[in-house]
């Protein structure tokens, strides 16, 4: 199961959203704290200003009445509030801040609760208590307009960041798809060089590598095809001369050797062929049945070939590709394996499966990795005359060119099995191409 968090875009999105959330939450908490501190500082400054104004008024114009909410109270009056012992933390901090703004030894008290908030101040030089109104210290509201603006800014930031992450992920995704195609042996068009400088350099290097590998493969294919083609004519003349020999034993030996050399040349030509198979797609089950029936008729000792075909008519592959796959694997099983050889098809959740297995000695585990390499013969267990070591390499190339994957290994502890899987979309595309031609 594919998880979105495993992709580059998913991880970038998670990182961006997390960073934006933490930063906006910290900014919101800081703003609320600063607003509370600002409110306290404003109330302290206002109270200190009123107290100084009252003192100046008393000194300069003692006969003029004071404002309605400002008054002077005699120290012996019963209205003087007691010393505040258990004040709330914000109010206690407010009283301390006001005391710091006043001269030394100034007494600062808060009016009795349940009445309009007042501040009582008396310094050493004040004959009376100075009572002034103060702004109520309201706690910050839990939700206000700032939350709405914060949500809008956060949403806009997340969308912009996700778009930037998507733009960064697209070149990497294209490069990853090209690398996957290159790994399956499929043709890879040049990848567009875009994105950051390092990504452009990586894409440029990949394009150069693909071109060099394609050039090398083309040179090797041309060389193999040229050599194989040039050998076919002298081999035909050699076979003709061999058949004209009078001694039967020598004639049969030379003809057998010429046939082996012709088979090797044919394998070279098939391996060197790098073009797309444009033959008509056929039903794999029906074609497998026909090929096995023909193989039983012409190959000596091939009565042990069995079929288990359950994929259904929807499994279709190009005819030439399927024939080459079956002929190479059946020849390989007949030469190196042991009966019964089973040709099986099935449909799985990932696509269609074609497998060919024998009941011989199989291949040693340490040799499985080299079994499909060109020109590799696993002697002495899997040697033989007339074989170039290209059979499995040809099958692997044909399977990959058809859009499938393959797996080679020993099944049930004995015998070799080649398991080929073709995704549903690949088979559907081949069938659609056939219908469009017709």
pLDDT score of 55: 86
Q: Is the pLDDT of residue 109 over 50?
A: yes
The CA–CA distances, whole Å, from 429 to 182, 250, 267 equal 20, 53, 28
Pick the range with the lowest mean pLDDT from 64-68, 197-201, 276-280. Answer: 276-280
Tell me how far apart the terminal alpha carbons of the chain are, to the nearest angstrom: 38
pLDDT score of 381: 44
Average pLDDT in the chain: 77
Pick the range with the lowest mean pLDDT from 97-111, 190-204, 265-279, 422-436. Answer: 265-279
pLDDT band, residue 354 (cuts 50/70/90): very high
Task: Walk me through the domains of the chain, giving residue ranges and CATH numbers.
Answer: 4-133 (3.30.450), 188-275 (1.10.287.130), 279-437 (3.30.565.10)
Q: Is the pLDDT of residue 343 over 90?
A: yes
Pick the range with the lowest mean pLDDT from 83-97, 161-175, 370-384. Answer: 370-384
Q: Is the pLDDT of residue 436 over 60?
A: no
Residues of the chain with pLDDT > 70, as a percent, come to 76
Q: Is the pLDDT of residue 67 over 70?
A: yes
Rounded average pLDDT over 123-151: 73
Residue of 96 and 218 predicted with greater confidence: 96
Two structure tokens written together for 13: 């999105």
Q: What is the pLDDT of residues 274-330, one digit of tens each?
A: 556 567 888 999 999 988 888 877 665 555 788 999 998 889 988 888 888 888 888
Among residues 93, 87, 76, 143, which one has the least CA distance to residue 112? 87
Q: Cα(121)–Cα(277) distance, rounded to whole angstroms?
A: 100
pLDDT score of 2: 55
Q: Provide the whole-model pTM.
A: 0.47
Q: Is the pLDDT of residue 388 over 70?
A: no
Q: Is the pLDDT of residue 136 over 60?
A: yes
Q: What is the pLDDT of residues 13-34, one digit of tens each?
A: 777 778 888 887 777 777 766 6
pLDDT score of 309: 92
The helix or strand, by DSSP H or E, that contains position 420, with its residue range, turns out to be strand 416-423
Q: Is the pLDDT of residue 349 over 70?
A: yes
pLDDT score of 385: 46
Helix axes 8-60, 145-183, angle to 10 degrees: 160
Q: Is 62 helix (H, G, I), strand (E, B) or coil?
A: coil
Read off the DSSP letter of residue 409: E
Rounded average pLDDT over 163-168: 78
Rounded average pLDDT over 62-87: 82
Pick the range with the lowest mean pLDDT from 210-214, 312-316, 381-385, 392-396. Answer: 381-385
Q: How much of the chain is helix, strand and coil, in % rounded to 5?
A: 55, 15, 30
Q: Is the pLDDT of residue 97 over 80?
A: yes
Rounded average pLDDT over 186-213: 86
The CA–CA distances, whole Å, from 118 to 100, 289, 310 equal 18, 103, 94
Pick the range with the lowest mean pLDDT from 60-74, 194-208, 299-313. Answer: 299-313
pLDDT score of 166: 79
Pick the range with the lowest mean pLDDT from 131-135, 188-192, 224-228. Answer: 224-228
pLDDT score of 421: 92
Rounded average pLDDT over 152-174: 80
Buried b (16+ CB within 10 A) or exposed e, 156-171: ebbeebeeebeeebeb
């Amino acid at each position: 199961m594919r998880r979105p968090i495993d992709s580059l875009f998913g991880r970038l999105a998670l990182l961006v959203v997390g960073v934006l959330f933490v930063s906006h939450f910290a900014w919101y908490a800081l703003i609320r704290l600063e607003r509370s501190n600002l409110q306290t500082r404003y109330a302290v400054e206002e109270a200190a200003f009123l107290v100084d104004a009252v003192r100046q008024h008393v000194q300069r114009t003692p006969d003029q009445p004071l404002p309605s909410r400002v008054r002077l109270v005699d120290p012996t009056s019963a209205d003087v509030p007691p010393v505040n012992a258990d004040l709330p933390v914000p109010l206690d901090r407010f009283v301390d801040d006001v005391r710091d703004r006043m001269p030394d030894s100034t007494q600062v008290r808060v009016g009795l609760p349940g009445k309009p908030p007042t501040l009582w101040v008396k310094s050493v030089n004040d004959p009376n208590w100075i009572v002034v109104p103060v702004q109520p210290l309201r706690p910050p509201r839990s939700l206000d307009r700032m939350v709405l603006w914060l949500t809008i800014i956060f949403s806009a930031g997340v969308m912009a960041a996700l778009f930037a992450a998507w733009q960064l992920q697209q070149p990497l995704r294209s490069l990853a798809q090209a690398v996957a195609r290159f790994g399956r042996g499929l043709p890879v068009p040049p990848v567009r060089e875009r994105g950051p400088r390092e990504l452009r350099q990586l894409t440029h290097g990949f394009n150069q590598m693909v071109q060099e590998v394609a050039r090398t493969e083309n040179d090797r294919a041309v060389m193999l095809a040229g050599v194989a083609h040039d050998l076919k004519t002298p081999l035909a003349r050699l076979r003709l001369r061999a058949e004209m020999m009078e001694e039967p034993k020598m004639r049969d030996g030379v003809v057998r050797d010429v046939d082996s050399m012709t088979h090797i040349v044919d394998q070279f030509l098939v391996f060197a062929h790098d073009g797309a198979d444009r033959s008509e797609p056929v039903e794999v089950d029906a074609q497998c049945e026909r090929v096995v029936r023909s193989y039983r008729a012409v190959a000596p000792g091939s009565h042990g070939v069995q079929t288990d075909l359950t994929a259904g008519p929807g499994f279709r592959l190009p005819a030439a590709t399927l024939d080459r796959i079956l002929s190479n694997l059946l020849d390989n099983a007949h030469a190196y394996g042991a009966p019964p050889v089973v040709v099986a098809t099935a449909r799985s959740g990932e696509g269609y499966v074609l497998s060919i297995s024998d009941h011989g000695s199989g291949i040693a585990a340490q040799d499985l990795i080299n079994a499909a390499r060109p020109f590799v013969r696993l002697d002495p267990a899997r040697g033989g005359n007339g074989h170039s070591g290209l059979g499995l390499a040809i099958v692997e190339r044909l399977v990959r060119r058809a859009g499938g994957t393959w797996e080679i290994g020993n099944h049930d502890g004995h015998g070799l099995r080649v398991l080929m899987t073709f995704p549903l979309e690949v088979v559907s595309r081949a069938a659609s191409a056939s219908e469009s031609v017709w």
